[in-house]
Structure 1
Amino acid sequence: MKAIIYRDNGDSDVLELVDRDLPAPGPGEVQVRVVVSGVNPTDWKTRSGATNPKQFPEVTPHLDGAGVISAVGAGVDQGRVGERVWLFMAAAGRPTGTAAEYTVVPAARAVALAAEAGFDLGASLGVPALTAHRALTVAEDGPARLHPGALDGKVVLAAGGAGAVGHAVIQLARWAGATVISTISGPAKAALATAAGAHHVINYREGDPVAAIREIAPEGVDIVAEVALGANLALDLAVLRTRGTIATYANDGGKPVQLDVRQNMTLNTRFQFLVLYTVGDRALAAAAEDVAAAVRDGALPVGEEHGLPLVRFPLDRTADAHRAVEDGTVGKVLVDVRAESTR
């Protein structure tokens, strides 16, 4: 089979296209014929060594993907062979990610893909959707699970609604019944956030964004899903309701975070920092189940008309796909592993 591998941390040039034997599923695992692989910022950061040193002599990257189960290991229902699935956390603590024609993952990390959903959608879930789910389920006064009506009466602020996680926050929050506000930096990104389903979009570079958000939510925002905490903290606190939650999954721009302790004591602010690698199996399982339900309801479509442009590369140009993500390409970067990709 064809696979992308790297043997050393470094820039995207360390990625190689090689021939490898098919990986065999062990007990509790499934072998998946990958059709589309999804690329996330965490993939290039892991490859570069920016987050953690390489754990294995050889690594096939990418956490997310979609394909068809082609074999199962001991203890897994044989009836799953032939099942269309989306994959999450494939390369987390393992050497076999989705940038290959076949991969092996624990059976629980291969989730049935609804019949009406394409492989592009499946490969776009994973990190963005599970991160969004976590951000929306950690509030003191909010739900631990998502379903239609779970966020009725709540106001969610999706910072950076044109990004992959922001896009998923908008879609999941709207599916669950929230009023959704998204902050964006210009008209093009406003169009994407609106297409994703945001009820209101606010350009944080123009006018008085705090006043604009407070006009929509006079009592304040219940949950902020934050991508740039250092840059946006002042705005977040100015619009947060008492006992509201700021769930942060990144600090884009790298601006240092400084907290006014008294201000946050008065607000009873809840800060939730999150990363999927350490969130725990229970939270991952709950998120995967709820995201699968949202997919069945048609609540998580992708493509430019739905607010998330798809940027495609063939397997042998995976290095270019990594560079695109590193350079901040707007939309979801996908790698077509097989020509028969069903979209």
Structure 2
Amino acid sequence: MKSIIYTETGAPSVLQLVDREPTPPGPGEVRVRVIVSGVNPTDWKSRRGSGPGEALPFAEVTPNQDGAGVVDAVGDGVTDLAVGDRVWTYLSGHQRPTGTAQEYTTLPAERVVRLPDGISFDVGASLGVPAMTAHRALTVAEDGPRRLQPGALDGQVVLVSGGAGAVGHAAIQLARWAGATVISTISGPAKADLATAAGAHHVVNYREQDAAAAIAELAPDGVDLIVEVAVGANAELDQAVARSRTSIASYANDGGAKLALDVRASMVKNLRWQFVLLYTVGDLALSDAVADITAALRDGVLPVGEGAGLPLHRFALVDTGAAHQAVEDGAIGKVLIDVNSD
């Protein structure tokens, strides 16, 4: 099979296209013929490490956490998946060398999820990191639901920072499906169009408006939950627009890794600053996300493509380096790699 590997950290040039034998699934594992591999910021950040030339935990690593394809083989003890099932995968390379930038990948069965009928591989490859992170961000509030379904967020106002990104896109879709009124901050007209296409009821251009005043006009009692992509830059805004007992779920450090808080302002409102990293949320949060995302897919939620607010950028497997570079350069939308034909 064709596989992308790297043997040390560094720029996209460390990625190599090689031939490898597919790994047979062991007990509790399945092998997936990958149709589409999804690229996330975590993939290029892991490849770069903290500097070039670092040793890896494995002799070689195949990147990319997310993907979609068809089950090709199952190991002993696997009863809920079968050869021929259309599936999506998540955390494919977490603490393992086998990501999805290869024609076949062998994974623990719990990281492989059946795709509902009619859901495309493009959608499947776009779910893992973005949709599961969004799900976690929407379910951490002290007074909020632990699970998402229609009606779960009825009467609540959710502020999604950066609604044109992949996580923001999924957060808008899931929050609206669950009944919330969704406000999204964006930086320009093109991104406003994308957030609106994803389902945001209101968009606020923080570069052209007084964002705090605009949000306060839309939600005079304050917002109930904030899904935050740039907590360092937006902490003051978040404190200003939050109502009492609001949770600010921060899943990225866009704009800087330092956070300065007005302690009294947060204390008076009993704010909760919740940090979200998919790799350490725990098995229960992962399984809840899988179940709720599957239900959302059955309801027609989480579409991708420009018309749905998430433009797709496609690359061939041999061009995985260029795909990684596109994400690192801030491509708006979702970067996908076509690995095998459907």
Query: What TM-score, normalized to structure 1?
Result: 0.97
Matched, 1:37 2:40: no
Matched residue type, 1:141: D
Matched residue type, 1:50: S
Give the counterpart of 1:319 among 311, 318, 321.
321
Query: What TM-score, normalized to structure 2?
Result: 0.98
Contact 1:31 1:72 in 2 (8 A): yes
- What is the Cα deviation at residue 282 of structure 1? 1.0
- Alpha-carbon spacing, 1:270–1:79, altered in 2? closer, same or farther (3 Å): closer
Matched residue type, 2:30: V
Contact 1:72 1:78 in 2 (8 A): no
- In 1, the alpha carbon distance for the partners of 2:55 and 2:198 equals 36
Partner residue in 2 for 1:143: 145
* Cα deviation digits, residues 138-171 of structure 1 (max 9, x gap): 0011000000100001110000000000000000
Matched, 1:214 2:216: yes
- What is the Cα deviation at residue 80 of structure 1? 1.4
Contact 1:160 1:166 in 2 (8 A): yes
- What is the Cα deviation at residue 226 of structure 1? 0.3
Contact 1:231 1:255 in 2 (8 A): no
- In 1, the alpha carbon distance for the partners of 2:302 and 2:261 equals 35
Matched residue type, 1:39: V
Q: Indicate the RMSD between aligned Cα atoms, in angstroms.
A: 1.2
Matched, 1:82 2:84: yes
Matched, 1:307 2:309: yes
Mean Cα displacement is larger for which, 42-51 or 290-299? 42-51
* Cα deviation digits, residues 57-86 of structure 1 (max 9, x gap): 111111000000010111002861110001
Matched residue type, 2:110: A
- What is the Cα deviation at residue 207 of structure 1? 2.5
- In 2, the alpha carbon distance for the partners of 1:53 and 1:105 equals 23
Report 1:1-343 matches (<5 A): 1-50=1-50, 54-77=56-79, 80-254=82-256, 256-340=258-342
**What is the count of residue pairs matched by the alignment?**
340
Matched residue type, 2:31: Q
- In 2, the alpha carbon distance for the partners of 1:267 and 1:23 equals 53
- In 2, the alpha carbon distance for the partners of 1:30 and 1:301 equals 26
* Cα deviation digits, residues 90-115 of structure 1 (max 9, x gap): 00000000000000111111111011
- In 1, the alpha carbon distance for the partners of 2:50 and 2:102 equals 23
- In 2, the alpha carbon distance for the partners of 1:55 and 1:153 equals 47
- In 2, the alpha carbon distance for the partners of 1:259 and 1:91 equals 35
Matched residue type, 1:166: G
Residue aligned with 2:148, SS: coil
- What is the Cα deviation at residue 2 of structure 1? 0.3
- In 2, the alpha carbon distance for the partners of 1:87 and 1:266 equals 42
Structure 2 gap ranges (5+): none
Contact 1:47 1:54 in 2 (8 A): no
- In 2, the alpha carbon distance for the partners of 1:142 and 1:78 equals 31
- What is the Cα deviation at residue 255 of structure 1? 5.3
Residue aligned with 1:80, SS: coil
- What is the Cα deviation at residue 50 of structure 1? 3.4
Contact 2:74 2:81 in 1 (8 A): no
- In 2, the alpha carbon distance for the partners of 1:302 and 1:263 equals 38
